[in-house]
Amino acid sequence: MLKTLTMLVLIGLLAVTTTAQDSKKSSTRAEIDALIDRVGKTPPDWFKDTPLNYPKSLDLTWPMKPPPGWDNQKNVGQFVWDVVNPNPNRWREGVKLMHHLLTLHKDDPDKRERAMLTLCHMYHDLLEDYARAAFWYRAVGVEKDPTEYARSAVILAECYWRLGYRDEALKLLAKTPPGLMHATLLGSLGETDRAISMALVETNDDPYGSATLAAADICRLAGRYPEALKHYQTVLDIEVPAKNPNGWLVRNRNRASANVTAIKAFELFDPKSVPDGKYVASSQGYEAQVEVTVTMKSGRIADVAVTKHREKQFYSAISDTSAKIIAKQSVKGVDTTSNATITSEAIINATAKALAERKK
């Protein structure tokens, strides 16, 4: 299998060419290129010992247009969505399956691209292996054509940032069409005013409050709470039709309400004032309430455990968000996990509520 992986990597590298102009780029660019190239060419240390595990009924021909109906034991995409994504113990097996499909479809460019983009998702959203995610995004050609692959280009820029190359992330974003994902990442990069402006442009056609909610989230991350509360209130002021209410509008209003409650809660307390013990609270997630148990010890947040949830596509948000809160010893300024924003936000809000309700 390692021979197969090496061959696939070489195939992927065909999409990452070097020009004379590349050699004149800054040392920062050279460093990130070398890092991604080095890591991307090598399999993860767990790859060899991970079984190739999938249902025998799975249709590995993986037709570009799936047949009618939903069958996660036959359709590859549905298997990834229903079985791999929601189960962390299957994430590595999902990566193994994608490499296997790359081998099977090495002569089919469309299926190869789809498999590589799925690998990008798995390395980025599930495993937080940003170097390997970047490698496969580059192999697809995302960096060469960020307009064609706008969504993927934003995620590739995030990979650069997570790897410690903020300037390279901004350079790529400058070539990428504007949008809410773009604005949200700019906010995480500290480009708050640009991010808010980009999000608010989208409010010109924003019947469900999604763009206004994004602007509010950006303000909240930057600690600009009065502005955040103002934008959240704008979402809450959107009237929900009594008949046939739109699900996205209802969800966005629920998020706005939970965020307002959390902001008002965490502005009132310092974690150091919370007695030792375990504190439980919940907040609205994507599917239902997300419950957390926060452990305080010697005036510090010792643990944030998600104890109940019904989220399905939570990706790495559950472990990632908890770790960020513990590292910061606060919920203030904790950025949400990309592609699992709602779940991540629910963990932040529930933690704020748990601690605020138990302050001295």
Cα 14 to chain centroid, rounded: 27
Q: Kindly state the tokens that stand for 351.
A: 């933690």
Q: Which residues pair with 279 in a beta bridge?
A: 294
Contact between residue 292 and residue 347 where contact means Cβ atoms under 8 Å apart: yes
Which stretches of the chain score pLDDT less than 70? 1-27, 268-270, 358-360
Domain boundaries, the chain: 2-177, 192-260, 270-356
Domain 270-356 has CATH 3.90.1010.20: yes
Helix 27-40 and helix 130-140, axial crossing angle in degrees, nearest 10: 90
pLDDT of residue 256: 95
SS3 228: helix
pLDDT of residue 148: 97
pLDDT of residue 295: 95
DSSP secondary structure code for residue 151 in this structure: H
Q: What is the secondary structure of 186-222 as a DSSP string? A: HHHTT-HHHHHHHHHHGGGG-TTSHHHHHHHHHHHHT
